[in-house]
Structure 1
Amino acid sequence: MRITACVGFMRGQVVGMIGNNIGRRFMSSKTYNVPPSSEFVARVSGIATMAKLPYQDTAEGLDAAFIGVPIDTGTSNRPGTRFGPRQIRAESFLLRSYTSTGAAPWESMMVADIGDVNVNLYDLKDACRRIREAYRKVVATGCIPLTLGGDHTIAYPILQAVAERYGPVGLVHVDAHADTGDMSLGEKITHGTPFRRCVEEGLLDCKRVVQIGLRGTGYTPDPYSWNREQGFRVVPAEECWYKSLVPLMTEVRAQMGNGPVYLSFDIDSLDPAFAPGTGTPEIAGLTPIQGLEIIRGCRGLNLVGCDLVEVSPPYDTTGNTALTAANLLFEMLCVLPKTKYY
């Protein structure tokens, strides 16, 4: 469905179309995609696209696009993240048009679901090649990718493509794990190594990298020493307990400045009481409220890409992990530079 944005607001009207193209909202002269209202369309009906958006094959003409990368080949513990994009889309049917912040993304940008990258589930290196080539095409159009993972390996080839267009980027990395390991079982590309590979290739502006929520047992007394040596700001989960993260995000915005920034959000950053459906859960994590504070605190940054990774539906018996992921992805859309607020 498309909306026309104009001065003054008129209520959505049924226009006799079907599927994901039901409803039209008139607000100005420019036409955008907008999900159909449940006032007219049953949430459970239609093709499972993100937020019931229209599907299109490419990123041409889009300001932002949801894109799935369904792999778990880089996973070190519980598998299942290859099914993450599908389940996040299914749970996203509950999303509506606005947040309590007043963000109006559907009236600000042309957004669509452009489907999944055709990954190679048998060869991780080839999967990374396919992801990199797919994202080169997306970012070449000026479209901002919002990625549904997939395990965290995918951040590496995505950032290869993003950095080709924008140069070294700042990184807001929300995770229980640093993902800066060098090697696992003889392999240098896994879901525990993407950001070390990114540093080695000069994809990150290391003085503009912050990692939030890190925790869990480690193999050395100081598992984050390498990160700090690169210039990363490391914010362990202990520094987040019992407090709002709004002050932290004020500092992060100052650290990031005006340069391009990528937001990478691992669902295992949240405590497993809230998000059990993930492959490598760690106790004593962030709350969903803190997750929202982090994402909403990115408003004003020059975001050039975002991802939400590591949702594993086989361990998500209630669907709450995927539902949380869908809402966090919508919140990411709401803080992109072009989003307008009421």
Structure 2
Amino acid sequence: ACISRHVIDDLTQKYVSIGIRSGTREEYEYVSENKIKMFTAEDVYSIGIEKIISEFRDYIKGPVYLSIDMDAIDPAYAPALGTPEPFGITPRDVRDVISCLAPQVVGFDLVEIAPAYDSGGTAVLGAKLVRDFLAASSKARLYL
């Protein structure tokens, strides 16, 4: 959340966050005051990732910097995280976001794998998501 705040304050006027599970009162107030679009993990579960992606695209029509924070993924799929918390989104949800937004993406990162706690599965998932982004991005650029 701290890094996001710097991005919002210094670099962009539109910001979307998908997969939030918890936050402080101050963080939620900041989201409200700065007209940040926030979709919780519960939103993903209840209204579906397709609807959220559609709302994202309606809100941000131009270039996108996509940052995948592995902490959004449920620890059942990715246990070696910086702040694992149950009831997160699924890797399939993340893959759908990646494949749908790839044509708009001008920069990408994936963060928050904790190697010290990983038996290998979380790193493999992270690598697969990066590979999926590279493939979707390449495919999108073929049709420009």
In the superposition, the TM-score normalised over structure 2's length comes to 0.87
SS at match of 1:252: helix
What amino acid sits opposite 2:6 in the alignment?
A: R
Q: In the alignment, what sits opposite 2:108? A: 306
Size of the aligned set, in residue pairs, is 142
Q: In the alignment, what sits opposite 1:213? A: 19
Q: In the alignment, what sits opposite 1:200? A: 9
SS at match of 1:306: strand
Verify the 8 A CA contact 2:103 2:141 in the aligned structure 1.
Answer: no
SS at match of 2:54: helix
Verify the 8 A CA contact 2:82 2:112 in the aligned structure 1.
Answer: yes
C-alpha separation between the residues in 2 aligned to 1:237 and 1:223?
16
Q: Select which of 265, 268, 279 maps to 2:68.
A: 265
Q: In the alignment, what sits opposite 1:130? A: none
1:205 shift after superposition: 2.4
Q: In the alignment, what sits opposite 1:286? A: 89
C-alpha separation between the residues in 2 aligned to 1:228 and 1:296?
28
What amino acid sits opposite 1:266 in the alignment?
A: D
C-alpha separation between the residues in 2 aligned to 1:219 and 1:242?
22
1:243 shift after superposition: 5.6
What amino acid sits opposite 1:283 in the alignment?
A: P
C-alpha separation between the residues in 1 aligned to 2:132 and 2:60?
19
Q: Which runs of 5+ in 1 are unaligned?
A: 1-178, 180-192
RMSD of Structure 2 on Structure 1 (CA): 2.0
Q: Which has the higher helix share?
A: 2
Q: Which runs of 5+ in 2 are unaligned?
A: none
Larger radius of gyration: 1
1:254 shift after superposition: 2.2
Are residues 1:331 and 2:132 paired?
yes
Counterparts in 2 of 1:213 and 1:205: CA distance versus 1, 3 Å? same
Q: Deviations over 1:122-163 (max 9, x none)?
A: xxxxxxxxxxxxxxxxxxxxxxxxxxxxxxxxxxxxxxxxxx
Q: In the alignment, what sits opposite 1:245? A: 49
What amino acid sits opposite 1:340 in the alignment?
A: L
1:279 shift after superposition: 1.3
RCO higher in structure (CA 8 A, sep ≥6) = 2
C-alpha separation between the residues in 2 aligned to 1:271 and 1:233?
21
1:327 shift after superposition: 1.0
Identical-pair percentage: 35
What amino acid sits opposite 1:256 in the alignment?
A: I
Q: In the alignment, what sits opposite 1:233? A: 37
Verify the 8 A CA contact 1:228 1:234 in the aligned structure 2.
Answer: no
Stretches of 4+ aligned residues off by more than 3 angstroms: none
C-alpha separation between the residues in 1 aligned to 2:90 and 2:124?
14
C-alpha separation between the residues in 2 aligned to 1:200 and 1:243?
29
1:271 shift after superposition: 0.2
C-alpha separation between the residues in 2 aligned to 1:233 and 1:219?
17
What amino acid sits opposite 2:68 in the alignment?
A: F
Q: Deviations over 1:20-56 (max 9, x none)?
A: xxxxxxxxxxxxxxxxxxxxxxxxxxxxxxxxxxxxx
